[in-house]
Amino acid sequence: MRALVTGIHGFVGQHLAAHLRASGDEVRGTYVGGQSDSQENLKWDIAQPASDSLLKTLTEFDPDVIYHLAAISHPGSCGDDLPTETCKAVNILGTRHVAELALALPSQPKMLFVSSSKVYGPRTPEQPLAAEDDTLKPMGGYAHSKWAAENVVRDRIDQGLKAIICRAFNHTGPGQSPIYLVPEWCQKVAGADSPQVVRSLATSLDLSDVRDVVRIYRLLIENQAWGETFNVGSGQAITTADIWNTICEIAGKQVEVSGEKSEPSQQPIADVTKLSAAIGPLQLITLRQTVEDVFRDVAG
């Protein structure tokens, strides 16, 4: 397959591009800002429509599929309530521009759009699972932007776009920015000489390895379930205390820690029934292996 990856320089984009190439695919990507490590990649601010020159270049490349990853993905950068103007421009309008690009290319490539589990809203310990047909209750600018972007994709599906929507749950792995929990905590433990303070040790969440996530994305494209929405997660609940303790075990030391918030919190856990039916049983990297690889990446 020939694949175009938007946001190819991002954390997930780099892992996806590596997996696609290892699978024999021809890959090009888009990026915004800075320089690319490959002349094959194309500079495109998706907040703006694709230029004529970009359309010409991609017509020549003739992609079979567009993996749309590019987004402002850190919730804290998207607004506490509704999306900021920048978030709307990238996450919502940008998704429209990518979908319109797919429809404008002569071969009309398929599209995989990465949404977020945040669209489900909060869960309770009694009902932690989130299924694709649940009522959505997005909270915060990031969640609202992904919910709106899903609707953009569905509108283009009605116009003939063959697309899959993936609601990605929490994921981590080597190369992730320390603004995210696992690499941040790996840094804390690696350099800890005194008690540490974290936001919460009582949050229950669904955490996957990014290398599993990108493998699932390609499997879904192979499955050709156009027009469908899938949860992409582990389907397993862990706590933030589990993560901290695993990091300490890997580091070989116990670091005293306390949480700013002591009350339990429940994030959505992926109901992966539909995903498993589409691609088969999930063979997942263990939490320990994932955290060990992140710790090695962070601590050297």
pLDDT of residue 193: 74
CB 115 within 8 A of CB 165: yes
pLDDT band at 113 (very low <50, low <70, confident <90, very high): very high
**H helices of the chain, where?**
11-22, 52-61, 85-87, 94-104, 141-158, 181-190, 210-223, 240-251, 273-279, 287-299
Predicted TM-score (pTM) of the model is 0.96
Q: Is the pLDDT of residue 194 over 90?
A: no
pLDDT in tens, 205-248: 999 999 999 999 999 999 999 999 999 999 999 999 999 999 99
Contacts of 32 (CB under 8 A, 6+ apart): 43, 44, 45, 46, 70
Decide: helix, strand or coil at residue 231: strand
Q: What is the mean predicted confidence (pLDDT) over 145-153?
A: 98
pLDDT in tens, 52-63: 999 999 999 999
What is the rounded CA–CA span in Å between residue 116 and residue 251? 31
Q: What is the mean pLDDT of the chain?
A: 95
Domains and CATH numbers, the chain: 2-172+208-234+269-280 (3.40.50.720)
pLDDT band at 68 (very low <50, low <70, confident <90, very high): very high
Q: Is the pLDDT of residue 39 over 90?
A: no
pLDDT of residue 299: 86
Q: 92 is written with which tokens?
A: 């919502």
CB 80 within 8 A of CB 19: no
Q: What is the mean predicted confidence (pLDDT) over 142-156?
A: 98
pLDDT of residue 38: 75
Q: Is the pLDDT of residue 35 over 80?
A: no
